[in-house]
Structure 1
């Protein structure tokens, strides 16, 4: 991201800190699919080791990450890497070695005491390990008041800037290319994991990263849900169908997702009808997904439309935000308090899954425009593919 974009984010964080009367905002992450707060603060990916960031208004971001024990150095906030970061501290902790679990909290405690902070906002507490939170609060009990600042930062992240929207469009275009590469090379006799390996290879060549690429196959008339990598062992036969989900990030770290059904031969009427109904469900709900719309109301409308087509109501999620998180707010369902806003990047994926005879999916990403238009980002045809 450009320095201007990182500056925009830090200005928003500074305003939130002032509004919440906090001295600093702290977030933690330890994997790259659901640790989007870290990347939003510092535009750097997260490894499987823990990374802690502390934003201080007027002084940029302090990073605590894995490395040599006791490491600490000042960092040029104008540098291309770790732009906006003023200092980096390292600890030699490992999640698999429980006795090291408090090292990040000890370093953060020292930094907070040194600055004499009295009120600190925690961002994304659900990502913070119990030991980290307990030790931090015990160390600073009676000295620092901790408050939950997650909702304020979520509101910033949900609405994408023009620069972020450019990168999100690029991720969708990358996934279209990946899907086309799979269609060109997939064939009967391959295992499901051979197909996802084609997708993963094409994605890496194009600059993709992280995320999930899932596939599941079955004979037509049977159930073929998405499977995680270690379960993608079935050999695909002539006439089978495959459910393929490509949900990874582009070079900037922004997520989108595309999913379709593929038949290795001729598609039967049952699968064609189910996929057309999934497409219809997506098409029917889009006019309701406008700025200002209640997520709970949109979810209710979608379920009414499902029931009208004689399908059971959705009981998990059919649409949600994406950005630096594979799934981020808003969740378009009954328990989401926020409404839709212009600038949101939404994955919309109605799925018909009866558990025994069919798995039909239509998944694409959409941007909500200022004028209320909802724009589909993926260009992969909305159909069952026959190869």
Structure 2
């Protein structure tokens, strides 16, 4: 065939399953259309979940999902250009119309361009009740245009929960894709263990890991980590802070959080020591592993996520450890971070076929103790760990 080929495509049957589930929920709520906009493939999963094409590089990708007709997409492109499709295009499946505009979030005077086209498209199709996905995160220009230009005859509501409750429960195809990316990450970590040595910079490890992930089929994601002497915390840090050179006897903590087939994300974290780990580091790792095990015992269908978080804090406090102020466990799929969040402000309950990353940890200034793995929730709780990498500190001669 000619033209681009999607190398990690979600099946059309899976997309149709998603669309029908959402349309059924929309009918129950009397919704005619959903509006979403994303600019990132890392935590911009609505656009990808509906269209199988992510937003990337900070460029806006706006999607209108209708209850009774193919989608409209507004995305980067030339002025005054559009394409009419039939919903069966091999790349833009389920899309009936693509409209383009050269807008940039960094160029203030273009911020209304997508919004103006969105209003025009909605007026063309005439929905009377529109649901917004994460309206608080949508651009001010877009939300203002919808409220000011569509008129009093159009009702605009928050439909985030409607989609999130469907998106959080993984289908058999999604679960298979999740298992594939967990296997990919195991292979990347094993390759890093064979590559790490004194004299490399932190960024050299991150670059090696990224190249290996791309070779194995990943498109997007992050590699966080820094080295440090034993007795100092080896923390996660992004690329611009990965300039340190690793010395003999030092350690390196790495988080691998990349996607794989179908754009699915999971994550794994372990610590490597170029020599022998100290007893303090071993003890700290044993504690967070025990904490992970305790959390897994709580993650049963029907249990409120907020209740799990409260019990985790009680467990930590009873051992003289700090309670969590960050996000230590959460859902994953086409987003690096998606619901449910395991913390006090989450309203979801745990349910079968959710994919959860569980990564308790703490930092006392001398030790950064961390473990991270993913689990699928079964009828009685988590199944076997999706990652097969041994849960230990890796001592490398």
Matched, 1:27 2:16: no
Question: Structure 1 regions of 5+ residues with no counterpart?
Answer: none
- Equivalents in 1 of 2:347, 2:105: separation in Å? 34
CA separation in 2, counterparts of 1:124 and 1:71?
Answer: 28
Residue equivalent to 1:201: 211
- Residue of 147, 150, 163 corresponding to 1:153: 163
Question: How far is the alpha carbon of 1:343 from its aligned partner?
Answer: 0.6
For structure 1, which segment, 323-332 or 293-302, has the greater mean C-alpha deviation from structure 2 after superposition?
293-302
How far 1:73 moved relative to its partner? 1.5
| 1:1-387 alignment runs, 5 A limit | 1-47=10-56, 48-354=58-364, 356-387=365-396
Distance in 1 between residues matched to 2:163 and 2:384, nearest whole Å: 25
| Alpha-carbon distance in 2 for matches of 1:156, 1:85 | 20
Contact 2:375-2:382 within 8 A present in 1 as well: no
Normalising by structure 2, what TM-score?
Answer: 0.95
Shift of 1:98: 1.1
Q: How many residues are treated as equivalent by the alignment?
A: 386
- In 2, the alpha carbon distance for the partners of 1:337 and 1:237 equals 46
Q: Does the 8 Å contact 1:289/1:374 carry over to 2?
A: no
8 Å CA contact 1:29–1:127 kept in 2: the answer is no
What is the alpha-carbon distance in structure 1 between the residues aligned to residue 195 and residue 227 of structure 2?
16
Deviates more, 1:365-374 or 1:325-334: 365-374
The two structures, once aligned, show a CA RMSD in angstroms of 1.2
State the 1:54 CA deviation. Answer: 0.5
Distance 2:327 2:127 in 1: 40
Partner deviation per Cα, 1:327-373 (whole Å, 9 max, x = no partner): 1110001111110000100000011211x200011100000013434
**Preserved CA contact (<8 Å) 1:369 1:375:** no
Q: Post-superposition shift, 1:122? A: 0.6
Ranges in structure 2 where 5+ consecutive residues have no aligned partner? 1-9
Cα distance in 2 for partners of 1:193, 1:384 equals 21
What are the superposed Cα offsets for residues 37-65 of structure 1, whole Å, 9 maximum, x if unpaired? 00111111212210010111221211111
- Larger deviation, residues 368-377 vs 157-166: 368-377
CA distance in 1, matches of 2:382, 2:283: 28
CA distance in 2, matches of 1:315, 1:96: 32
303-312 or 42-51: bigger deviation: 303-312
**C-alpha separation between the residues in 2 aligned to 1:80 and 1:98?**
35
The 10-residue stretch of structure 1 (87-96 or 342-351) with the greater mean CA deviation from structure 2: 87-96
CA displacement at 1:6 relative to structure 2: 0.6
SS in structure 2 at match of 1:136: helix
Q: Summarize the Cα distance change of 1:297–1:370 in structure 2 as closer, same or farther, 3 Å threshold.
A: same
CA distance in 1, matches of 2:267, 2:171: 19
Cα distance change, pair 15–38 in 1 and its aligned pair in 2 (3 A): same
SS in 1 for 2:220: strand
